[in-house]
Amino acid sequence: MIEKFVNGNRDFVEGNFLDNQAYYHKISRQQKPSLLWIGCADSRVCPTTITNSQLGEIFVHRNIANIVSTGDTSISAVLEYAIGHLNILDVVVCGHYNCGGIQALDTGGNTPIIEKWLQPATEILDTVRYDVELSSKDRLKQLVEANVRLQVSRMTDFPIIKDINEKLRLHGWVYDLETGKLASVY
């Protein structure tokens, strides 16, 4: 199984990397991404792939259910580095439909660590009411969208965001796995 990835890297080096050596040499010296992407760790949602971007264009932070929490040192460090050192002014929080993290939040029964991780998103459960007319798929879609909006709003709790708020552009997107399309929800 692991050989697939080792062989894939060899194919990448012999193909794309050799064909674009000047570009890879340039980005090996310095990164200048124009976008910070905070997204879900789901293996089906690769930011560079779904935005048709190249390596070096997007600074990426991923975690389960694209949670933004001031108590998370990792996201705090990413924000400080991306905004304070890389001078990125566009920040996207991107969720996706059929998110297992959001579904786990809604249905419960999680391990203690996953439950603790998802805790910062629990208030979205109050924003989307149980409705007899609403299918579980549509409810999950609404929860995903509500979570993105909540996480974007939480960005303003970070000192680095407060310091340059007038210049910073915050975006909330949702990726649809079935259509391949991104939609703005914030």
Tell me the catalytic residues: 40, 42, 44, 96, 99
Q: Which of 159, 44, 82, 156 is nearest to 172 (CA)?
A: 156
* Spatial separation of the C-alpha atoms in residues 148 and 105, rounded to whole Å: 14
| Kind plus residue range of the DSSP H or E element containing 123 | none
Six-digit token string for 32? 């200048």
Q: How big is the chain by its Cα radius of gyration, in Å?
A: 18
**The token pair that represents 141 in the structure block:** 């879609």
At 21, which amino acid appears? Answer: Q
- Beta-sheet strands, E only, within the chain: 35-40, 58-63, 90-96, 169-175, 182-184
Residue 73 makes CB contacts below 8 A (sequence gap 6+) with none
Q: How far is residue 128's CA from residue 183's CA, in Å, rounded to a whole number?
A: 19
Tallying the residues shown for the chain, one arrives at: 186
